[in-house]
Structure 1
């Protein structure tokens, strides 16, 4: 079943989902003020990942209740390397004031060690980063413009059946053509829109404590047109809709169920495979580097394996057209959170 949501409020007066399902635009309005759950259970974040064939950057602003986080990661695919950097703040519990919509509301976070801003402007989004202490003082800074013409996205509202007030409202916006530059360790890296594409992961919800998720994403050009996909599963009740979807030339093509086949051993030790229940997404994934990160603080912990690499295979659009995918840069991840 793939139930498509209608317009309206996301939550009722008790803080529970009005409707579960998927959409291609922000059809449901999120409001933190109606939530009944304790602040530490409320998780809100904006995550951008912008990739080229040779390098990429990821930027995070998250208010996870018990901890706030500003993060930047730099990936060098030629060297098969990465650097993570970030700063945490204790128990913001909503004080970071993240927007209630993915379509309006700027984020400007200033910390003595890092400044991150995500701003809306006509026709797109502007990302800025300044972290002089990143990578032991090598520093990273710059500005990227993500063009966003009218196009479909992945929107999903997922409940957690074991906790009635728990839910996840998620938007993934693929195929954001990027331009600009990032200065890292004294070298300038240019992002050109024909070669650089970004994705936004916008999440708001009330989470249960122990969760594992699987997520994959890629964007680029196929047959000269913007193409991307979002795939994933692992938490909540997805009987109303999956988050699996293709994007081609601005239009969404909904998929049903997918399975991630991870390699034995290390996450980047061998190719991954992806299979679908209806044969519309059959892909292999050649790892380049595992951007691993973990932390533990008492009963709170996170183990993250975001593997960057190249996807190759075949997808089928809603009208039956088959697209051949060859060496499309993207990522696939396994994340276990106790939060």
Structure 2
């Protein structure tokens, strides 16, 4: 697929074996809920884009996100060392687009936040996903993976009366690279580290809310990855899936049961089709809260361990035992 937005100004909707080379959002025929055609300023203001790169191993957990919210560039990075319980983290908020660069080519572009000697960069060129973090406190991350023999999830769904969201997701793929931090130096290949990657963009609901879960690791001799959500990409089609040795297995709608005021308390996650049955125990979280005039966010990403079952159709069920991963509870107004 060359472009997501077609000649008639409408996006291609569905789940695709391959994603678009370009998310050409400026060609979208954006309308108000009452049908009035909106111009360039509205297209700029309402288009939002983000990426997330997660690192998962028994010895090191990490997450890095970049977001372009038109009026604001935002990002965070954190590392957690399970053996010691220590964590390092940084947050960045760059007003009015200062220091941000975002490409709309999911497989051939660079997204970056750069500010006063600090850089968060995700490079998606050449069939390789790369994370490059360099901070003024000495934290450096260089991580990468390729997707040979792997089947990413590509999806575009309608949102609200006139919007849409495109998402490209991967979980359960091994990565390599180096980390230097106050927690120590780590060789990701030696740690048998896995990665998760999410590239999402579109005209999302002005006020939205979602839960999300992701894990990676090895279970019963198979590489396992998982991506589940409730609240965003489930209009007509669902992004819910898991991967077994790189093969994508679709999953139906899911239910997240948890205590919103106690995100580290146990979570239960079940799919209506019976293919996913999980419990999650949190070990720590990254939280952010913004309440500005035009933007608001109440974000909690919890890292911890999953137990439970995956049941691929026509195959034996797979037991998950103490696998690391993430869950999210997020409200946003943008």
Same fold (TM over 0.5): yes
Residue aligning to 1:10: 4
Distance 1:81 1:24, change over 3 A: farther
How many residues are treated as equivalent by the alignment?
Answer: 322
8 A Cα contact 2:211 2:229, kept in partner: yes
**Kept in 2: contact 1:8–1:29 (CA 8 A):** yes
Contact 1:153 / 1:172 at 8 angstroms: preserved in 2? yes
User: 1:199-232: per-residue Cα shift (whole Å, max 9, x none)?
Assistant: 1110110122211011100111223332111000
Q: TM-score when scaled to structure 1?
A: 0.86
Q: For 2:271, which of 252, 273, 276 is the aligned residue?
A: 276
Q: Does 1:296 align with 2:291?
A: yes
In the TM superposition, 1:146-185 aligns within 5 A as 146-162=145-161, 164=162, 166-185=163-182
Length-normalised TM-score, structure 2: 0.87
Aligned-residue offset at 1:29: 4.5
Which residue in 1 is equivalent to 2:19? 26
Give unmatched runs, 5+ long, in structure 2.
31-41
CA deviations on 1:213-259 (whole Å, 9 max, x unpaired) are: 111001112233321110001136x2421111010011111111111
Q: Is the 8 A contact 2:62 2:77 kept in 1?
A: yes
Query: 1:241 aligned to 2:233?
Result: no
Equivalence map 1:253-332=2 (5 Å): 253-263=249-259, 265-268=261-264, 270-332=265-327
Q: Does structure 1 conserve the Cα–Cα contact (< 8 Å) formed by 2:81 and 2:87?
A: yes
Q: Indicate the larger mover: 281-290 or 146-155.
A: 146-155
**CA offset at residue 305 of structure 1?**
1.0
Aligned CA-pair RMSD? 2.4
Contact 1:142–1:182 under 8 Å retained in 2? yes
Unaligned runs of 5+ in 1: 1-6, 134-138
Which residue number corresponds to residue 338 of structure 1? 333
Question: Does structure 1 retain, via aligned residues, the 8 Å contact 2:26–2:43?
Answer: no
Q: Is 2:78 aligned against 1:73?
A: yes
Do the aligned partners of residues 230 and 24 (structure 1) sit closer, same or farther apart at CA in structure 2, a change above 3 Å counting? farther
Residues 211 and 79 of structure 1: CA distance in aligned 2, closer, same or farther (over 3 Å): farther
Query: 1:24 and 1:194 mapped to 2: Cα distance?
Result: 31
